[in-house]
């Protein structure tokens, strides 16, 4: 049974890289009948943003990945962290460091000049037989942990395999600031232990934090969880994903007309696969996903793939669901008696809910103008004459225009009897009914609009001469 978490900092929106991490954590917990937990890492008061917290929680509600426990806020747990800092000080595993900022800056400048890796020089680290400097009166100390000076810190990463960091790569790092507030790596280790984490899935930008956190685990006698450090998501050029590439607020995807299932399906494939399968239901993800099979190399964001997936999900979900989704885009088809027919037609070519709305409105809205290029090309001498003849035919069969088959059954003979080619009739009708030439099948449009509306729009287009004058 895996217990996993996602722990965002509320300093900005939740982007898709974070959502992918959360998805993988969620899938692994649910697959093993474990628990998925959310923790808000809000100890940085200067950068925290209440709007960001709300946006993060809203995103998780939208994609349907709720926390299995009450959401934890680090800002409410400071007393817990201070208790463990006091314990480490009492046990001699941490110490107070009075090095000033100027002294620390000078030390780092000297090390960099000597082409050495910047690290604390242990001036205030207590050692047997060592005489420490006199405590300055004007410096509030930070708290540093005693890192091991020999050997190596090793762990088995579920993605990267065996990892080894020599002791000299980890110095006596700070675990609490001079104002008493604990540092990120310290609180993460405390929280992951107290929240029972068995598996920590995160981006490989956190890899260098792991040895420091293991030092803390070991100092406090905590069991070290299993780590999975996932490669980042790059843009198609192999560079860091930018906002232009798609690294935007998760809720922007909702605003842009994506379904949450499509976004999750897209993200699960950015770093994991099951053969050549592209479309996964949540049940299939839960059945097949294993973090031990996460790719070792970075994945590339593909906007076209996301659009394709979204179009597949728009076709697959129920029309009742689409009616509800479209309400967020100011289109309410609840009481429209032909909503099933119009959605079945419009969703065949829609890649987003915005495109679906536009396709529906192309049929429902009476055109106020007509495509000039199409009118010039398809409205010729004699066009109005056979359109009027076709209107007579529709009037004679107006009670039978409720289905595509019925419309087709009377139209095909009309085309043959009048020696027309299909575009000669269909394109002028399409322009009259929708304003353009790219609308769906004329049979479908007429069956949805019915005789009265079809006649009204054709009469209007003929009266305006298709805006050709």
Angle at Cα 174 formed by Cα 172 and Cα 175, nearest 5°? 115
| Domains in the chain: boundaries | 1-65+231-316, 77-230, 366-467
Tell me the pLDDT tens digit for each residue of 82-135: 999 999 999 999 999 999 999 999 999 999 999 988 899 999 999 998 999 999
- The beta-strand segments (E) located in 41-151 are 72-73, 94-97, 142-145
Strands 142-145 and 35-40, how do they pair? unpaired
Distance CA 374, CA 438 (A): 10
Distance CA 449, CA 394 (A): 12
Counting Cα atoms < 13 Å in the Cβ hemisphere of 1 gives 5
Look at domain 77-230 and name its CATH class.
alpha beta
Residue 237: pLDDT band by 50, 70, 90 thresholds?
Answer: confident
**243 among the known binding-site residues?**
yes
Res 245: pLDDT: 67
Task: Please determine, for residue 60, whether its predicted confidence score (pLDDT) is greater than 90.
Answer: yes
Q: Do domains 1-65+231-316 and 366-467 have the same CATH topology?
A: no
Tell me the pLDDT tens digit for each residue of 382-423: 999 999 999 999 999 999 898 899 999 999 999 999 999 999
Give bridge partners of residue 434 from the DSSP assignment.
none
Answer for the pair 204, 231: CB distance below 8 angstroms, yes or no: yes
CATH 3.40.50.620 correct for 1-65+231-316: yes
Answer for the pair 291, 24: CB distance below 8 angstroms, yes or no: yes
Residue 463: pLDDT band by 50, 70, 90 thresholds?
Answer: very high
Say which CATH topology domain 366-467 has.
Answer: Arc Repressor Mutant, subunit A (1.10.10)
Tell me the pLDDT tens digit for each residue of 293-345: 999 999 999 999 999 999 999 999 999 999 999 999 999 999 999 999 999 99
φ/ψ of residue 218, rounded to 5: -65, -40
This prediction's pTM:
0.91
């Amino acid at each position: 049974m895996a217990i996993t978490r996602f722990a965002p900092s509320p300093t900005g929106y939740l982007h898709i890289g974070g959502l992918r991490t959360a998805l993988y954590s969620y899938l692994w917990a649910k697959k093993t009948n474990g628990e998925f937990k959310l923790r808000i890492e809000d100890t940085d008061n200067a950068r925290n943003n209440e709007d960001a917290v709300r946006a993060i929680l809203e995103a998780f509600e939208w994609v349907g990945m709720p926390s299995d426990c009450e959401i934890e806020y680090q800002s409410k747990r400071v007393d817990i962290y201070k208790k463990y800092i006091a314990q480490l000080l009492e046990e001699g595993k941490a110490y107070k460091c009075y090095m000033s900022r100027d002294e620390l800056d000078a030390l780092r400048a000297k090390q960099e000049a000597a082409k050495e890796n910047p690290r604390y020089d242990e001036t205030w680290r207590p050692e047997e037989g060592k005489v420490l400097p006199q405590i300055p009166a004007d410096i509030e100390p930070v708290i540093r942990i005693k890192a091991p000076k020999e050997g190596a810190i090793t762990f088995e990463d579920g993605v990267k395999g065996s990892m080894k960091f020599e002791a000299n790569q980890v110095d006596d790092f700070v675990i609490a600031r001079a104002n008493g507030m604990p540092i990120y790596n310290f609180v993460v280790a405390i929280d992951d232990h107290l929240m029972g984490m068995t598996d920590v899935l995160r981006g490989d930008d956190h890899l260098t934090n792991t040895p420091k956190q293991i030092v803390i685990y070991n100092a406090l006698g905590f069991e070290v969880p299993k780590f999975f450090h996932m490669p980042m998501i790059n843009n198609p050029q192999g560079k860091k994903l930018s906002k232009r590439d798609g690294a935007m607020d998760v809720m922007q995807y909702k605003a842009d007309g994506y379904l949450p299932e499509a976004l999750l399906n897209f993200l699960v494939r950015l770093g994991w696969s099951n053969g050549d399968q592209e479309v996964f239901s949540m049940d299939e993800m839960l059945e097949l996903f294993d973090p031990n099979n996460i790719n070792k190399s970075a994945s590339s964001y593909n906007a076209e793939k996301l659009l394709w997936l979204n179009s597949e999900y728009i076709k697959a979900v129920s029309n009742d669901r689409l009616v509800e989704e479209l309400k967020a885009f100011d289109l309410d088809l609840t009481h429209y008696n032909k909503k099933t027919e119009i959605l079945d037609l419009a969703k065949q070519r829609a890649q987003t809910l915005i495109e679906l709305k536009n396709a529906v409105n192309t049929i429902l809205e009476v055109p106020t103008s007509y495509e000039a290029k199409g009118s010039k090309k398809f409205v010729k001498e004699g066009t109005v004459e056979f359109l009027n003849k076709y209107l007579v035919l529709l009037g004679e069969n107006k009670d039978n225009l409720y289905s595509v088959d019925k419309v087709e059954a009377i139209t095909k003979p009309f085309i043959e009897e009048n020696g027309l080619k299909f575009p000669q009739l269909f394109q002028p009708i399409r322009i009259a009914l929708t304003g353009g030439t790219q609308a769906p099948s004329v049979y479908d449009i007429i069956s949805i609009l019915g005789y009265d509306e079809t006649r009204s729009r054709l009469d209007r287009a003929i009266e305006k001469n298709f805006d050709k004058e």
